A = this chain, B = another copy of it.
Amino acid sequence: MNKASKPTLDDVAKTAGVSSATVSRCFNEPDRVVAATRERVMRVVDELGYTPHFGGRALASNRSNTMGAVIPTMENAIFARGIQAFQETLAEAGVTLLVASSGYDPEREFEQIRALVSQGADGLLLIGSSRLEKTYNFLRTRHIPYVITWNVCAETDCFIVGFDNRKAAYALTRKVIDFGHRQIAMISAASEFNDRARDRIEGVRAALRDAGLSAEQLPIVTVPYSLADGGRAFEELMQGSPRPTAVICGNDVLAAGAITKAKEIGVRIPKEVSITGFDDIELAEVVEPKLTTVHVPHRRMGEAAAKILLDIRDGKTECHSFELETSIILRDSLAPA
């Protein structure tokens, strides 16, 4: 072993006076090696600072102990919590997580998925269900297990751990209407490649319709995902006529941006205008007034996704998709019209 390079299994084996197979078994099937030998080997492992070479292992065993996740962005707290839980659950099973972000670009998502797969990801966590056809083709022909999160969808041949964005948005809008609001507007993330945003919009529209309000002329401002975007959108809506008395936001970040902007331009929340969010991230409790929003069990979603992927890897087929419940959290930003 060249001292500038990593020690290998063989180095350990030679130093410990055993065969490389025995060293390998110390790592993979410790029970099959007698304690005395195992301890001696492990001592040498420590001494040499040996770490198994991932490539060699993946090549020989055809397993990588790696899962991948492609999320739209890491900057947004909305995904952070779920991914953190995903990672923790995987880590418990000795599996490493590879994270990549697509920047909400489907083409980039495709590339990232390819990259993760060739990195050896045994399975993938994906956000939502709207992606390029070729992406699905790739996943299918390569038999990559994946679980779709953050939404439920019609496709039945894939694993899903999500919640019903449409239903949740419907319930929330219902609540807003029950508070007496009739002039309702919406701030949404771009929905072109974002089924969560699309479903939320649909939910709002459906609730409006069912309440006998015009769903077609629901004012919607579509923006990217930052706080500042939410503020700008809010300002635009305030210039509309008739001015909305309630603004339903596609997520908490946009809602927080809207509230912050409202203060700047002197619109009192919730006295003049009510605002609602979606996700119930920490931010929702920090803004003043506190945000009425839809609580999403992000952590449970991440954990469940991890478990499903691990089950698939271990050949347990009993694992199935399931839908998590959301709930409406009433706080101060929603008040009677």
Residues of A that sit less than 8 Å from B by CB: 4, 6, 49, 51-59, 64, 66, 73-77, 80-81, 83-84, 87, 91, 96-101, 114-120, 137-138, 141-143, 226-227, 253, 256-257, 259-260, 263, 282-283, 285-288
**Known: A101-B87, A263-B288. Contact between A59 and B53, CB under 8 A?**
yes
Contact: A118 with B54, CB < 8 Å? yes
Contact: B120 with A55, CB < 8 Å? yes
Number of copies of this kind of chain in the complex: 2
Contact: B74 with A118, CB < 8 Å? no
**Known: A49-B137, A75-B80. Contact between A119 and B96, CB under 8 A?**
yes
| A288 interface neighbour in B49, B57, B288, Cβ under 8 Å | B288
A-B contact pairs, 28 of them (CB 8 A): A4-B143, A51-B118, A53-B120, A54-B120, A55-B55, A55-B57, A55-B64, A59-B59, A66-B119, A73-B84, A74-B80, A75-B80, A75-B84, A84-B101, A87-B99, A96-B100, A96-B115, A96-B116, A96-B119, A97-B98, A97-B99, A99-B99, A227-B282, A227-B285, A256-B286, A257-B286, A283-B286, A287-B287
| A87 interface neighbour in B49, B100, B285, Cβ under 8 Å | B100
Chain B residue at smallest Cβ distance from A298? B75
Q: In the complex, what residues of B have CB within 8 A of residue A87's CB?
A: 74, 99-101
Min C-beta distance of A91 to chain B, whole Å: 8
**Known: A74-B84, A96-B100, A137-B49. Contact between A119 and B54, CB under 8 A?**
yes
Q: In the complex, what residues of B have CB within 8 A of residue A138's CB?
A: 49
Q: In the complex, what residues of B have CB within 8 A of residue A49's CB?
A: 137-138, 141-142
Q: In the complex, what residues of B have CB within 8 A of residue A84's CB?
A: 73-75, 101
**Known: A4-B143, A84-B101. Contact between A288 and B287, CB under 8 A?**
yes
Min C-beta distance of A297 to chain B, whole Å: 15
Q: In the complex, what residues of B have CB within 8 A of residue A96's CB?
A: 98, 100, 115-116, 119
Q: In the complex, what residues of B have CB within 8 A of residue A114's CB?
A: 51
Q: In the complex, what residues of B have CB within 8 A of residue A287's CB?
A: 286-288
Q: In the assembly, what is the distance between CA of A142 and CA of B119, in Å?
A: 22
Chain B residue at smallest Cβ distance from A64? B55
By Cβ-Cβ distance, the 7 closest A-B pairs, closest first, are A55-B58, A288-B288, A51-B118, A55-B59, A55-B55, A74-B84, A54-B119
Q: In the complex, what residues of B have CB within 8 A of residue A55's CB?
A: 54-59, 64, 120
Contact: A74 with B83, CB < 8 Å? yes
Q: In the complex, what residues of B have CB within 8 A of residue A51's CB?
A: 114, 117-118, 142
Chain B residue at smallest Cβ distance from A282? B227
Q: In the complex, what residues of B have CB within 8 A of residue A76's CB?
A: 80
